[in-house]
Structure 1
Amino acid sequence: MDPRLYALLVRGDGLVTRRDMMRVAPAWTIQSAWRAGRLVRLLPGIYVDAALIRDTTADLPILARVESSLARRAALAYTDRRAALSRLTALDVWGLRRQPTGEPVHLDLPKGSGLRGRPHLVVRHRSGFAVAPPQAVTRGGLPVTRLDRTLVDCWPLLMPVDRSGPLIRAVNDRLTTPRRLVAALAEVPRMTDRAALGGLLDRLTVGCRSPLEIWGHDHVFTGPGMPTFTRQARVQVGARTIYLDMFAEAERVDIELDGATNHGDPAEREIDLRRDALLATVGILVVRFTHRRLMSNPTQVRQETLAILAARPRYPMIS
């Protein structure tokens, strides 16, 4: 290969644009490298070192036959940096769901850009979109749509069983908030299963932080006789800050819901026992229900909860 082209490939980590090549070498040099199989065209005007093609026999679009990081850089170069990674690709960049090989690269572009999708590349044109805050941010050196809008946009693209996990994790990891997600949903008036997403955001807004807590909220811990629990209540005990799953403040009862995989480790169980004992020093009774009990006998769990609350003295509410 011409040393000038090779130097550009090294500088671009295997990726080069035709425009940059034309600045240093004549067109026939580029054509020769392409015909010799040293360069491969991924997208119009975008070339890659042929050694980076993963499988030359695969029946896949050429963009799908390079590493995902290279495919994303190629897609952004194709748009001349006028786009941001979006939807399922952005969700991967945010670290909330790994994008499998078969899924295309997703890009958002300003409306009227004139660019269109290609095999393994899906583009969406948005009115008023700009590759700048607040619509887009830089993450890992790549422009990507902001997280709350990314999560909302991915909702109809994921299988129903996979939809809630990224949103719950993003809120639990404090990457976003239910309020920001509600605002992002307001930007998308039409969407498949929009009502279901709104329902999930309602549960996150009141403090539910796991599928089990959401199920308990809907089927057990609301309705006649149940107090309005404060979810994820913050309690200070000495120098330690503790967050309570569901806190009945007047009765000073904390309801903890233990997931199906929790507490198999004796060390984890010991941590819970010490935490519960510490809360007892400030008059808070901790009541734990396992995933199995909650799911198999919700009526009994509800009855036990009401009986425990009724038996407790009522304390003045903290103003």
Structure 2
Amino acid sequence: MNPVLGELVERGGGLVTRVAAVQVVPEWTLWQACRSGGLVRVLPEVFVAAHLLDGRETRPGAPALSRLDHDLARRAVCTWAEGRGALSHLSALDVWGLRRQNADDLLHLSAPAGGGLRSRPGVAVHRRQHLILEPPQVVLRKGQPVTRLEQTLVDSWPILPSAERRAPVIRAVNDRLTTPDRLAVALGNAPKLHDRAAFRTLLTRLAEGCRSPLEIWGHERVFTGPGMPAFRRQARIRVGPRTMYLDLFAERERVDIELDGATTHGDPRQREIDLRRDALLATVGILVVRFAHRRLIHEADDVRRETLAILTNRRAGATA
């Protein structure tokens, strides 16, 4: 490759545009670099160094963009858009750090209607009425323009496999990046969203204090209904200098139901942490009852009966 052009590509982190290249070398030099295999055109007017394309096999006819790492591919798309669009849907979800986009997934860009951008191989352009490419609708994250988080989560919902839809929403709320109320506003602006009812139910559960798929399962299948108290979810309890959050707290009975996820099972260190926590709660009269993931999923009826019996006995003991 021409050394002047090569230096320009290196300064651009492996990426160069035709406009930038012809300012320092004749245009034929750019095309010669492509013919010799030094550069690859990944989008109109946008080229990357060929060595940055990985060597993995792709499906026949797959765009060159799918062979770039995620960050470089998104940078190429933003460079091509020239400020006329913002990363959205699954691409924005990746930038927000909530779900890694698969290499073969389309890169998504939202643009104002009539902005002139159209979809290309490897890039899906979503034209949106009334989109303004500035805050609060579009923000910079990691130096790239992305749709605001709430809009990103709503846009991504119907594209994700059904089994993967809830996880980014739950994580966003748990990480305090957003709230169920703010997400509900964004959902209200998408009345025709596919499987919208499930999204609305998820937001209701999150607003009630559920913070994991297991807690949602327990709420819907086990810990509601006749005989069950109005549990406080994620109840904040302070014992001495330590603050703890209880999964399901029956305040009258002083019982804390903890739902242990599958990943904590068999971890000796986590087990020791749990035992110390349970002992500390016992000093203020709170009984901790733990149910493992396997039992909650496969023995829901037994868990429910045991919980009701524990609560009944605690009430009886309090009045004896």
- TM-score (norm: length of structure 1): 0.91
Number of residue pairs matched by the alignment: 314
Amino acid at match of 1:165: A
TM-score by length of 2: 0.91
Match of 1:33 in 2: 33
1:11 aligns with 2:26: no
The runs of 5 or more residues in structure 1 that have no matched partner are: 315-319
1:53 aligns with 2:53: yes
Q: CA RMSD in A?
A: 2.1
Question: Which of residues 139, 142, 145 is equivalent to 2:144?
Answer: 142
Q: Counterpart of 2:164? A: 162
Query: 1 CA distance for matches of 2:161 and 2:20?
Result: 41
Q: Is 2:66–2:103's contact at 8 Å kept on the other side of the alignment? A: yes
- Per-residue displacement from partner, 1:183-218 (whole Å, max 9, x unpaired)? 221121111111111111111111111122111111
1:197 corresponds to 2:205: no
Distance, in Å, in 2 between the alignment partners of 1:28 and 1:263 is: 63
**Counterparts of 1:309 and 1:19 in 2: how far apart (Å)?**
72
Residues 105/278 of structure 1: CA separation in 2 closer, same or farther (3 Å cut): same
Between the two proteins, what is the percent identity of the paired residues? 60
Alignment-derived partner of residue 311 in structure 2: 309
Aligned pairs for 1:125-140 (under 5 A) are 125-140=127-142
Q: Secondary structure at the match of 2:173?
A: helix
CA distance in 2 between partners of 1:294 and 1:53 (Å): 46
- Relative to structure 1, the CA distance from residue 163 to residue 57 in structure 2 (aligned partners, 3 Å threshold; closer, same or farther) is closer
Structure 1 match to 2:244:
242
Q: Who is 1:317 aligned against?
A: none
Partner residue in 2 for 1:175? 177
Q: Which amino acid in 1 is paired with 2:130? A: G
Match of 1:123 in 2: 125
- In the TM superposition, residue 145 of structure 1 has moved relative to its aligned partner by 1.9
Describe the SS at the equivalent of 1:303.
Answer: helix
Q: Is the CA contact 2:112–2:128 (under 8 Å) kept in the aligned structure 1?
A: yes
**1:84 pairs with 2:48:** no
Matches of 2:63 and 2:102, distance apart in 1: 15
- 1:230 is aligned to 232
**Counterpart of 1:230 in structure 2: which amino acid?**
R
d(CA) in 2 for partners of 1:107, 1:179: 26
Of residues 289-298 and 197-206 in structure 1, the stretch that sits farther from structure 2 once superposed is 289-298
What residue number does 1:21 align with?
21
Gaps of 5+ in 2: none
- Counterpart AA for 1:86: S
Contact 2:265 2:292 in 1 (8 A): no
Relative to structure 1, is the Cα distance of residues 297 and 56 closer, same or farther in structure 2, using a 3 angstrom cutoff?
A: closer
Partner of 1:96: 98
Aligned partner (choices 254, 257, 260) of residue 258 of structure 1: 260
| 1:75 Cα deviation after fit | 0.7
1:21-48 CA-to-partner distances (Å, cap 9, x unmatched) read 2323333333333344333221111122
Corresponding residue for residue 221 of structure 2? 219
